[in-house]
């Protein structure tokens, strides 16, 4: 069934009225930009002359930024350390009008920092400073208490699992049933280690590598994609599965055996960092604005095509999203 562009435009125009909880691993992204003019005499590696430094929200915090930029109200729930990075991250949240009230300082953990060195529009290396063991029972109880304090006020939840320890099986056992009981839309950006703990959610958004890995079936063609999606939907008992496919776009599979393919709309690709955050954010914002799953996939595919044309994690406004959609979709979709 085709969808008229006018309907998608109306949905995009309605984005901005929802309250969305983001639960997951919060990070600080550091970018060092420079030029390479020589090779080090100490080792066969390029020497980058740093010209500019930039800090951005990463992980679940980047999802919150995407939600905020689209116009919805994000509630960011997770942990940070008691360190200088947490102070910098709090300032970035303030600059983006994202509340820090649901962040929990954990003195036993460092705030995750991912440092990327970029030269001539190319990432040279990434260095991570982080602790990845699971959060303590005490911190988990605090997270659950703060979740329960707001669950009756939210329209949707995004579980942003980067495998850094905030998302635990025991936490999911409490959060997911509570959301289902309250008819809250549940979207999950998964990590392989917890994949089958996301049972009964509304949508799971793995990339094709993650999906193939957890299914034990490498995805080479569309037939493989269908085999993997059916297996995962059966095991997850989820409403839908949105698999991102890099340069080939994305595919939406639903529990009623419906399949839709969406070719990429990206005209140029500089950096896919954070593209998955944009996909899940736009998808959920669209659903809360009244979109069907297929309509939400069209909108999130368009949003992803716009952000990969920028270096580093990026977000898109609903106004820019509307322009991108008009530029890329001229007929029924």
Tell me what pLDDT residue 311 has: 60
Coil, strand or helix at 297: helix
pLDDT digits (tens, 9 = 90+) for 229-270: 999 999 999 999 999 988 788 999 999 989 999 987 755 555
∠5-8-12 over CA atoms, to 5°? 140
pLDDT digits (tens, 9 = 90+) for 139-150: 999 999 999 999
* Mean pLDDT value across residues 202-211: 94
Q: What DSSP line would sit under 130-199, residue for residue?
A: ---SPPPHHHHHHHHHHHHHHGGG-SEEEEE--SSSSS-HHHHHHHHHHHHHTT-EEEEE--GGGGGG-T
Tell me what pLDDT residue 313 has: 58
Tell me what pLDDT residue 272 has: 56
Task: Decide: residue 171, CB within 10 A, 0-12 exposed, 13-18 middle, 19+ buried.
Answer: buried
% of the chain exceeding 90 in pLDDT:
78
| Helix 5-14 / helix 293-307 crossing angle, nearest 10 deg | 80
* Mean pLDDT value across residues 6-14: 92
Among 158-162, 260-264, 269-273, where is mean pLDDT lowest? 269-273
- Greatest Cα pair distance, the chain, in angstroms, is 62
Residue 319 scores a pLDDT above 90? no
4 versus 129: the higher-pLDDT residue is 129
Among 85-99, 140-154, 295-309, where is mean pLDDT lowest? 295-309
* Mean pLDDT value across residues 17-40: 96
Domain boundaries of the chain, sorted by first residue = 5-26+59-110+132-328
Contact present, 110 and 134 (Cβ < 8 Å): no
Q: Which pLDDT band, with edges at 50, 70 and 90, does 332 fall under?
A: very low
Produce one character per residue of 127-162: b if its CB has 16 or more CB atoms within 10 Å, e if not.
eeebeeeebeeebbebbbebbeeebeebbbbbbbbb
Q: Which CATH number fits domain 5-26+59-110+132-328: 3.40.1190.20, 3.40.50.300, 2.60.40.10, 3.40.50.10420?
A: 3.40.1190.20
Q: Which pLDDT band, with edges at 50, 70 and 90, does 331 fall under?
A: very low
Catalytic residues: 277
Q: What are the backbone dihedrals phi and psi of residue 36, each rounded to the nearest 5 degrees, phi first?
A: -105, 120
Tell me what pLDDT residue 3 has: 79
What the block records as the tokens of 106 is 């954990």
Tell me what pLDDT residue 305 has: 80
Tell me what pLDDT residue 327 has: 78
Tell me what pLDDT residue 194 has: 86
What gap in Å lies between CA 11 and CA 325, rounded to an integer? 12
pLDDT digits (tens, 9 = 90+) for 90-125: 999 999 999 999 999 999 999 999 999 999 888 999
pLDDT digits (tens, 9 = 90+) for 170-179: 999 999 999 9
What the block records as the tokens of 275 is 């593209």
Contact present, 162 and 191 (Cβ < 8 Å): yes
Q: Which pLDDT band, with edges at 50, 70 and 90, does 323 fall under?
A: confident
Q: Other CB atoms closer than 10 Å to residue 177's CB: what's the count?
A: 12
pLDDT digits (tens, 9 = 90+) for 74-84: 999 999 999 99
* Mean pLDDT value across residues 123-130: 95
Task: Decide: residue 55, CB within 10 A, 0-12 exposed, 13-18 middle, 19+ buried.
Answer: middle
Tell me what pLDDT residue 246 has: 80
Sequence-separated (6 or more) residues with CB below 8 Å from residue 311: 31, 118, 121, 270, 271
């Amino acid at each position: 069934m085709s969808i008229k562009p006018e309907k998608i435009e109306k949905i995009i125009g309605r984005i901005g009225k929802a309250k969305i909880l983001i639960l997951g691993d919060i990070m600080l992204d550091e970018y060092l930009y420079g030029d390479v003019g020589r090779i080090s005499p100490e080792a066969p590696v390029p020497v980058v002359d740093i010209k500019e430094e930039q800090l951005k929200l990463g992980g679940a915090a980047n999802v919150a930024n995407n939600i905020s930029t689209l116009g919805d109200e994000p509630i960011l729930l997770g942990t940070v350390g008691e360190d200088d990075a947490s102070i910098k991250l709090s300032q970035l949240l303030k600059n983006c009008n994202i509340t820090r009230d649901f962040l929990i300082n954990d003195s036993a953990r460092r705030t995750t920092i991912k440092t990327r060195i970029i030269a001539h529009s190319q990432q040279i290396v990434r260095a991570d400073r982080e602790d990845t063991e699971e959060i303590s029972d005490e911190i988990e109880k605090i997270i659950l208490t703060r979740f329960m304090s707001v669950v009756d006020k939210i329209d949707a939840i995004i579980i942003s699992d980067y495998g850094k320890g905030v998302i635990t099986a025991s936490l999911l056992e409490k959060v997911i049933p509570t959301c289902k009981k309250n008819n809250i839309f549940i979207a999950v950006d998964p990590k392989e280690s917890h994949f089958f703990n996301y049972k009964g959610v509304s949508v799971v958004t793995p990339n094709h590598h993650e999906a193939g890995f957890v299914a034990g079936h490498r995805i080479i063609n569309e037939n493989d994609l269908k085999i993997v999606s059916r297996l995962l939907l059966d095991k997850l008992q989820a409403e839908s599965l949105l698999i991102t496919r890099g340069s080939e776009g994305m595919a939406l599979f639903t529990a009623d055996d419906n399949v839709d393919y969406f070719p990429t709309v990206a005209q140029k690709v500089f950096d896919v960092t954070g593209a998955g955050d944009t996909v899940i954010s736009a998808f959920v914002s669209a659903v809360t604005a009244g979109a069907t799953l297929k309509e939400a996939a069209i909108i999130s595919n368009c949003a992803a095509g716009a952000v990969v044309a920028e270096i580093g994690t990026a977000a898109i406004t609903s106004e820019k999203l509307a322009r991108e959609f008009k530029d890329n979709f001229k007929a029924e979709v």
